[in-house]
Structure 1
Amino acid sequence: MRHLKSLPEFILLYIKCHPQLWHHVLLIHQEREMEMEEGMMNYAGAGSGQKLEGELGRFIKVSTSVVISLSYCFIAGKLIRKGKPRLFSFIPIVIFFLTLPLSLQSVHLCGSVAFFVTWLANFKILLLAFDKGPLSDPSLSLSRFIALACFPIKIDRKSSNNQSSTSSKKVNSSVWIYLIKCLLVSLFIKSKYNSRNLNPTLVLAILCLHTYLVLELTMALVAAISRFSLGLDLEAQFNEPYLSSSLQDFWGRRWNVMVSRILRPTVYDPTMWVASRFVGRKWAPLVAVFNTFIVSAIMHEIIFLYLGRRRPTFMISWFFVFHGFCLVVEITLKKLNEGCGGFGLPRMVATILTMGFVLVTASWWFFPEIIRCKAESRAFDEYAIVGAFFRRRIIGDFKFM
């Protein structure tokens, strides 16, 4: 047997040492092979265009109802005093937003509505009830109010004219980076339909990279649309999470930054205020961090319930609760070693350990749930539907010109 020379081979060796995980991966690979033959026939057929148009029609109705609901919140926020009266006026909208993802079947559309509206918009509306959060700015116009409510964005008010040249350079470099990432996603899509010839562990690694790239590209697309349509100078949502040197660095400063920002005023700060009365200001952050991860676990569980429409196994919850516990241990050790010079590791070693820990625990609890609700398979099938739709509608039109 040849020596291990690549990361996929190392992951393969790790999984083979865990029989249950290896058996699970093999079953996934076999199911993928069976779905591949059926998927190309079912989703590229004549009815795929009708399915796409029907889903887009439902998405337009959902989007229209979101705009109307947020317009109500915009007016109510100006007419009703903050506190319980405003909160009671927002409760019907919050409940309504909880039901919206059930109207959609598409993984991309249902997942986007669940994340942007059910999670972010609801949390921001709850903050507005007490005149807090990004929506409490009285100078916001209706269009900006709606954009800030349903999109994971934040206006960067620190930008100035002196920074325009540097920001333009960052934009130009970001364009090339995102083009490369789009190319990688297209290669992953192609590899899905050639998965018969791929190692099942490599398929799992592709799923990992595909999940990250799709999330980042989705956030970047939302930011670009908001920048060009509303003139907002937006902050990045991902800050190279693969370079994280600790769990605190990964979850607090690099991964999905907007979620961290919205969880701080809605969960972390209130818990910090209550916990400080019982355990003091020094140790209250530990309670606040753990409680924040519990709320994040609940919201992720709800999103996966929308995607799979199956009885939850709570594996997603275990993933976030476990990471919350480990982050509490990490912060505790840092506090205990503040006066001892610390126990810092070399940056490269810390990054390898952190990302290895995240990927291994994700392979235990997070990615199996994605596979269980067939989110990745349905996502690739939706790519095939869109591709077939445009081939018929656009390329077909050129044949008759």
Structure 2
Amino acid sequence: MQENVQRIVEENGMRMVLERIPHVRSCSIGVWLTRGSRHEPPDKIGISHFLEHMVFKGTSKRNAKEIATAIESVGGSLDAFTGREYTCFHAKVLDEYVELAVDVLSDLINSPTISEENLQREKQVIYEEIRNMEDTPDDLIHQLYSETIWGDNPLGYPLLGTYQTVAALKRDDILEYLHQNYIAPNLVISLAGNIDFNSTIDIIREKFSFLSSRSTAGDDEIPTPPGEPRRAVNRHLNRDCQQTHLCLGTASFSHSDARRYALLLLSNIVGGGMSSRLFQRVREEEALAYVVYSFQQFYLDTGLFGVYVGTEPSKREKTLRVIREEYAKLLEEPVSEQELNHAKNQLKGQLMLGLESTTTRMFRLANFEINREGYQKVDEVLAKINAVTPEDITAVARIILNPENLCSVSLGPNHN
């Protein structure tokens, strides 16, 4: 597969990763800060997410409506999200509006006004976001699962913060966090679409020239190490809802770990779609659930694997037993070449279909850069997937599905 990617590192530490895709008319631009909830002090949990909200309230050039109108008036989209290890602001526009999109994105992190009035108003919005998560048990269970695995480590912090930590945030806290963390060495600009490299690089340099007035003392160290994750914990939280929501799994591998592709294939075999073992057993054969799937998250130095299922409260124990039985089968007997090839084709197909989106390609550029791997061509990734053997799957399963490592967390009514 032909790819045209350039990586530039500026003297101030800012990184650009650009991909030219001449056969499309769209362009996706991401401004990534390598700072997220994992970098927060305990008394300011949620500040990364709060700042992500606040920059949209207005800047020295645009008010809140003008920020939204600037992109939407040309048919584009503008959004942002906060993760454990990064914060992302991104836009998608027609190729003729790349300069406009870069201008809006740079404006967000250059000169947000962060007025006291908007800060107090946005706290109410964040409270509602927290309440929304608390009222959505199939979302809440994932936060409880992270807390259970990581304990007091920042990887277990709630991304939204708590009512107490959000309430305590002051304007000076937000501005200090902005100027200490939204700096060139922490910044990755990723862009994929129908672009001219030279003119696009010039636009980015011009729009982000304000960074020269900020500190360049970025900290490239991995934040608080995860320590030893909890193992063999079984936790139930009482909640008045119609289903019991379950997560079962353990800590896993980092984004750069060579075993990552074996884990992705194992995850597909376990719970990656309608043909997966758990979907067939839990839903089709046992009728224990409507939704069942596996998931994984990769960080700089560790990761997380698990299975989610929602079931009738009285069937909690049976559901856990069935999942553990399927895990045990993978430990006792290697996967067949046929099943592994099915999982490989599924994973490769997902990758290739995703490449039809400039947004997916922009995310892909940034993920390799943020995780310090260097860009990997699609053919290289496909070769790594193809190279995984049944023995590799078994080796990973013995770590990830080992009963002595598994933690289970459930949320729902107490039953017996």
Structure 1 or 2: more strand by fraction: 2
Normalised TM-score (structure 2): 0.25
Normalised TM-score (structure 1): 0.26
Structure 1 or 2: more helix by fraction: 1
